[in-house]
Amino acid sequence: MEAGSDQGDMYTILREMAGSLAQLKVDVKVLQGENQAQSAKLKELDGVKTELEKQKAEIDKLKQQPQGKQVVFSASLLADGENTIGPFPSHTPLVFRRVVTNIGNAYSPNTGVFTAPHRGVYHFEWYIAQYGDPRHPTGVDLMKNTERVFMAWEQNSSGSFGSSSNGVNLVLESGDTTYVRLWNNTTVFDNTSHHTTFSGHLLFPL
């Protein structure tokens, strides 16, 4: 009887051990799954960390960019009132008196000349108006130093309001100048609505 009892106890112990082993295998699989999930989470966090470090580096780079590189100006021909400028017997630089924006102070309202403070690519736009003078067209050039770049022209023989415009991107060296030049025997009109304007800004330094 004792031998049979001992054998039964052994079977019980083996069953318990088998059950424990099966549970252990289940626990191991659960832990493996949790470890895989943690690994995936860590990889995701590493990716987020890398992206944040990249963004921080870009922000730091922007902060280090000299503020003097910011160049923007915009001005209209007349400060107030209404007037027709011209005609003149020779080409004449226009002086845009009413300055709305002049960050970097590269545009002079006394001469009408923009002087590039840095080497870079600049964008310029100019708008001209004609009104009340059917005998003369309106025509202007954008000048780079002594070179004609682009022209804007309007011929309105009825004497009613007319306008024209143009724009250009230019590579300028430090000290290069640009200005708007009125053609000889032409006129240009402006009033408090500020139809005739000259604007420019630095797109990016070189």
Per-residue pLDDT tens over the stretch 103-122 = 999 999 999 999 999 999 99
* Last residue in a domain, options 30, 64, 98: 64
**Is 167 found in the same domain as 97?**
yes
Question: How many residues can be counted in the chain?
Answer: 206
Maximum separation of any 2 CA atoms in the chain, in Å: 137
Cβ pair 174, 110 in contact under 8 A: no
Q: Where are the alpha helices (DSSP H) in the chain?
A: 2-64
Q: Half-sphere exposure of residue 19, counting CA atoms within 13 Å on the CB side?
A: 6
Q: What are 80-84's contacts with CB under 8 Å, separation 24+?
A: 80/192, 81/191, 81/192, 82/189, 82/190, 82/191, 82/192, 83/189, 83/190, 83/191, 84/131, 84/132, 84/133, 84/187, 84/188, 84/189
Higher-confidence residue of 12 and 162: namely 162
- Expressed in angstroms, the distance from the first to the final Cα of the chain is 101
Q: Partners of 139 in the beta sheet?
A: 153
Pair 77, 173 in one domain: yes
What pLDDT was estimated at residue 94?
A: 98
Residues 194 and 117: beta-carbon distance below 8 Å: no
Domain co-membership, 154 together with 196: yes
- Residues 81, 33 share a domain: no
Shared domain check, 90 and 183: yes
The verdict on 135 and 148 lying in the same domain is yes
Domain termination site, one of 41, 64, 87: 64
Total number of domains constituting the chain: 2
The CATH number assigned to the domain holding 141 equals 2.60.120.40
pLDDT of residue 169: 98
Q: SS3 for 23? A: helix
- Portion of the chain with pLDDT greater than 90, in percent: 60
**Residues 52, 90 within the same domain:** no
Q: Are residues 109 and 10 in the same domain?
A: no
Domain span including residue 116: 69-205
pLDDT digits (tens, 9 = 90+) for 61-113: 656 655 557 999 999 999 999 999 999 999 999 999 999 999 999 999 999 99
Task: Give me the pLDDT at residue 56, please.
Answer: 80
Q: Is the pLDDT of residue 58 over 90?
A: no
| Same-domain status, 58 and 73 | no
> Are 79 and 172 found together in one domain?
yes
Q: Do both 117 and 177 map to the same domain?
A: yes
Token representation of residue 70:
């910011």
Question: How confident is the model over 130-183, as pLDDT tens digits?
Answer: 987 788 999 999 999 999 999 999 987 777 888 999 999 999 999 999 999 999
12 and 45, same domain (yes or no)? yes
Of the residues 15, 44, 64, which one is the last residue of a structural domain?
64
